[in-house]
Structure 1
Amino acid sequence: MPRTRRAAFLAAPALLVTLLASLIGGPATERAEAAPAAFVHPGVLVSRGQLDFTRDKVNAAAQPWKGAFDQMMASKYASLSRVPRPRAVVECGSYSNPNYGCTDEREDAIAAYTLSLAWYITQDSLYARKAIEIMDAWSGVIKDHTNSNAPLQTGWAGSSWPRAAEIIRYTYTGWPADRVERFKTMLRTVYLPEVANGSHSNGNWELSMTEAAIGIAVFLEDRAAYDRAVTTFRGRVPAYIYLTGDGSLPKTAPGSGLDTRDEIIRYWQGQSTFVNGLSQETCRDLAHTGYGVSAIAHIAETSRIQGQDLYPEVAERLRHALGLHAKYELGETPPSWLCGGTLRDHLGPVTEVGFNALHDRMGYPMTNTQALTERGRPAGTNNLFVAWETLTHAANPR
């Protein structure tokens, strides 16, 4: 991205946040209008209370948390011999072809998060120091992302980095202040301008980018960036998951330029019959649908930790999306009107966060999602930006 574009993005005014809130749909709720006056740390996807709950369960050898912990610790991401592989410029084409640092960056970011969880649960400082080593390696080198997948790549890696940084910065005393500042500079100058610009590609792009933006905003304590991310979220979610109350056609994201029925149906992968919970990418494949649904839950989870809960605004859409796709993942044959009767790929390990929030905390009945979630435990990682969510979020009341 040209440096002039990096410097040009502006925070959305609070008025736009209020106006765009009306696009979410579903039951009327009290809406969060602005970033919190004081940010909660650690507070990106997992809170200190959630981490304490997880550690207590693992130490008591309770399931499924102990099994999930053992799975994480046996993964390559928890290795204390890992050697980070930073690059000044990460170049990612479509489907990461070419792949110049794309896998290295994503996996090093997941490793930093994995090691931060390992630190908190075991209290072994070796894991904290290894997480710091990886974060310092990248913050001292990376300058840019290029090629067609740059926004998505930045969103994926940018979702994992602040999760790791939040845990280490606020629960471990050994990260030197100058390196913390350098890491902040990396997020502020390399990642945030890219993800804050949004995307009119398939919806999983903008949702993943928005997840990165809100996590980075929390770590930087940047209220304007947080507000901008919430505005994007409120515009994108109803354009990604359909509810019958939307009318005969799905909503469109602000600025999408989709003005006709044919354009909307084309954007929805040729699907012309719409039902509760259908995703804009259902008929593309379930893997990309899983990316989008997961990012929605992650963003809402971070907002809840920060004290301005977005779950009530998206609960109907998210629970229907999880339930609809879980039904077919569990083996039900899709009808001929749905994607021509064929659904491709699988959602991946993406249901724990949303299921815990909607079913366990908010009390929604979610039979299909519960069955799929429990069948998939312990949920591992998709090697992109989802990792270890049975460990951190299974039945976590905090």
Structure 2
Amino acid sequence: MRRTALFAAAAALVAGALAWPADAAPSAPGTFVHPGVTVSAAQLDFARSKVGSGAQPWKGAFDRMMESEYADLNRTPRPRAVVECGSYSNPNHGCTDEREDAIAAYTQALAWYVTRDERHARKAIELMDAWSAVIKDHTNSNAPLQTGWAGSSWPKAAEIIKYTYNGNWAGSGRFATMLRTVYLPEIINGSNSNGNWELSMTEAAVGISVFLEDKASYDKAMARFRTRTAAYVYLDSDGDLPKTVPSQHLDTRDKIVKYWQGQSTFVGGLSQETCRDFTHTGYGLSAISHVAETSRIQGQDLYGTDVGERLRHGLGLHAKYQLGAAVPGWLCGGSLKLGLGPVSEVGHNALANRLGHAMTNTETLTLRGRPAGSNNLFVAWETLTHGDNPA
């Protein structure tokens, strides 16, 4: 009996370690939709109409965005040829400058779309052109993550400007070359670090692939996304142990528990980084929502698959404790490091508003955080773009 139980446990472990999501990864569309990275033209039109009418929460979200440093028309780009980022951005040689200039380009693009003030479009172009003229490489230990963070914002800005602004963007080809030669090679093959790394990198790879209309890279990034998402958020249906990424060789229970920050009890919605802190977990959940949203815009809706279920349960569990629920002793030793960040709008809108799932804790947290701002890394202004947006 004991040997049978051990055999069954071993078999389950191997199955979990090697399992890929049951649903095939989405393939690139026959024709890419533009603008189509995280936010669509219809979503932009909805937000613009609400701001124009003074409706809340969109008007308040727009005002918060316009009051930020990222919307400043006097902003001076700070490009450099080599961005060097060590662990926790130490050293920080251009890391903050790059991320924030990328967010600023996206902010200016949104400001252009809502106001039709061409100064904002030209400022977005100025920021994108400044970096595409200079940057050659990312170095040091955080290079892949840094590339993912900045690379998530650049294509969102570029998509809006290229496909909605009728002015001349003479440097768009050079910008595309920058994404293809400086950013994509650093992120397309993923990472075996904590899951938020690969999810952020994959978000950037998917967005860049849309802008470049690179179907091969899109397919590769999406396949990696499905595998990593399944390994990042646990569902009860996964079995006794979380799924894993095959290349990480997490082939024993002890290895898996260690990778999950020492957590040995698994419940639906738990993240691989829950017991590390909620901030990094929020990065991962945000990236999942952004890729799912881009995929939906491109014609393949992942919210009805395991991706949506993992996102729904992940947001719900972390929102519960972020709102102040007592932490049980079995969860991270009874102590959590909170700080989820402004990451719930996209997932809540898709799963609660579009699909009708009850998400009480996520909704409470989302409403409490409105209007959502920026995490100054790769998340920005999602109450404006996705709050209760039916498009």
Once the two structures are TM-superposed, the CA of residue 256 in structure 1 deviates from its matched residue by 1.1
Q: Does structure 1 residue 23 correspond to structure 2 residue 20?
A: yes
Residue 304 of structure 2 aligns to a residue whose secondary structure is helix
Q: Does structure 1 residue 352 correspond to structure 2 residue 349?
A: no
Partner of 2:232: 240
CA offset digits 1:68-88 (Å, max 9, x no partner): 000000000000000000010
CA RMSD of aligned residues (A): 1.3
Tell me, in whole angstroms, the C-alpha distance in 2 between the residues paired with 1:99 and 1:316: 37
Tell me, in whole angstroms, the C-alpha distance in 2 between the residues paired with 1:235 and 1:32: 9
Q: Does structure 1 residue 56 correspond to structure 2 residue 72?
A: no
Once the two structures are TM-superposed, the CA of residue 287 in structure 1 deviates from its matched residue by 0.1
Tell me, in whole angstroms, the C-alpha distance in 1 between the residues paired with 2:109 and 2:367: 25
TM-score between both structures, scaled by the size of structure 2: 0.94
Q: Name which of 205, 219, 227 aligns with 1:213.
A: 205
Once the two structures are TM-superposed, the CA of residue 254 in structure 1 deviates from its matched residue by 2.7
Q: Does structure 1 residue 88 correspond to structure 2 residue 114?
A: no
Tell me, in whole angstroms, the C-alpha distance in 2 between the residues paired with 1:23 and 1:47: 30
Partner of 1:5: none
CA contact (8 A) 1:32 1:308 kept: no
Q: Name which of 258, 271, 286 aligns with 2:278.
A: 286
Tell me, in whole angstroms, the C-alpha distance in 2 between the residues paired with 1:149 and 1:345: 23
Matched residue pairs, number? 374
Once the two structures are TM-superposed, the CA of residue 22 in structure 1 deviates from its matched residue by 7.2
Tell me, in whole angstroms, the C-alpha distance in 2 between the residues paired with 1:136 and 1:348: 30
Partner of 2:102: 109
Once the two structures are TM-superposed, the CA of residue 33 in structure 1 deviates from its matched residue by 4.0
Change (3 A) 1:380 1:354: same
Once the two structures are TM-superposed, the CA of residue 206 in structure 1 deviates from its matched residue by 0.1
Following superposition, which runs of at least 4 residues in structure 1 exceed 6 angstroms of deviation?
none
Residue 83 of structure 2 aligns to a residue whose secondary structure is strand
Once the two structures are TM-superposed, the CA of residue 51 in structure 1 deviates from its matched residue by 0.2
Change (3 A) 1:206 1:175: farther
CA contact (8 A) 2:348 2:363 kept: yes
Tell me, in whole angstroms, the C-alpha distance in 1 between the residues paired with 2:365 and 2:39: 22
Within-5 A mapping of 1:1-398: 23-24=20-21, 31=24, 33-177=26-170, 179-313=171-305, 314-398=307-391
Residue 91 of structure 1 aligns to a residue whose secondary structure is strand
Tell me, in whole angstroms, the C-alpha distance in 1 between the residues paired with 2:362 and 2:280: 18
Tell me, in whole angstroms, the C-alpha distance in 1 between the residues paired with 2:125 and 2:35: 16
Tell me, in whole angstroms, the C-alpha distance in 1 between the residues paired with 2:82 and 2:197: 20
CA offset digits 1:247-300 (Å, max 9, x no partner): 111110131111111110000000000000000000000000000000000000
Tell me, in whole angstroms, the C-alpha distance in 2 between the residues paired with 1:244 and 1:395: 29
CA offset digits 1:192-219 (Å, max 9, x no partner): 0111010000000000000000000000
The percent of aligned pairs where both chains have the same amino acid is: 73
Residue 55 of structure 1 aligns to a residue whose secondary structure is helix
CA contact (8 A) 2:26 2:223 kept: no
Residue 247 of structure 2 aligns to a residue whose secondary structure is coil
Tell me, in whole angstroms, the C-alpha distance in 2 between the residues paired with 1:182 and 1:117: 22
CA offset digits 1:11-67 (Å, max 9, x no partner): xxxxxxxxxx97236xxx6x5641000000000000000000000000000000000
CA contact (8 A) 1:24 1:237 kept: no
**One-letter code aligned to 1:42:** P
Moved more, 188-197 or 248-257: 248-257
Tell me, in whole angstroms, the C-alpha distance in 2 between the residues paired with 1:33 and 1:116: 28
Once the two structures are TM-superposed, the CA of residue 359 in structure 1 deviates from its matched residue by 0.4
Partner of 1:6: none
Tell me, in whole angstroms, the C-alpha distance in 2 between the residues paired with 1:122 and 1:223: 33
Could you tell me which runs of 5 or more consecutive residues in structure 2 were left unpaired when the two chains were aligned: 1-17
Tell me, in whole angstroms, the C-alpha distance in 1 between the residues paired with 2:169 and 2:203: 27
**One-letter code aligned to 1:269:** Q
Moved more, 326-335 or 153-162: 326-335
Tell me, in whole angstroms, the C-alpha distance in 2 between the residues paired with 1:222 and 1:310: 20
CA contact (8 A) 1:32 1:310 kept: no
**One-letter code aligned to 1:189:** T
CA contact (8 A) 1:208 1:292 kept: yes
Once the two structures are TM-superposed, the CA of residue 90 in structure 1 deviates from its matched residue by 0.1
Once the two structures are TM-superposed, the CA of residue 228 in structure 1 deviates from its matched residue by 0.4
CA offset digits 1:368-393 (Å, max 9, x no partner): 00000000000000000000000000
CA contact (8 A) 1:168 1:175 kept: no
TM-score between both structures, scaled by the size of structure 1: 0.92
**One-letter code aligned to 1:383:** N
Once the two structures are TM-superposed, the CA of residue 315 in structure 1 deviates from its matched residue by 1.5
Could you tell me which runs of 5 or more consecutive residues in structure 1 were left unpaired when the two chains were aligned: 1-20
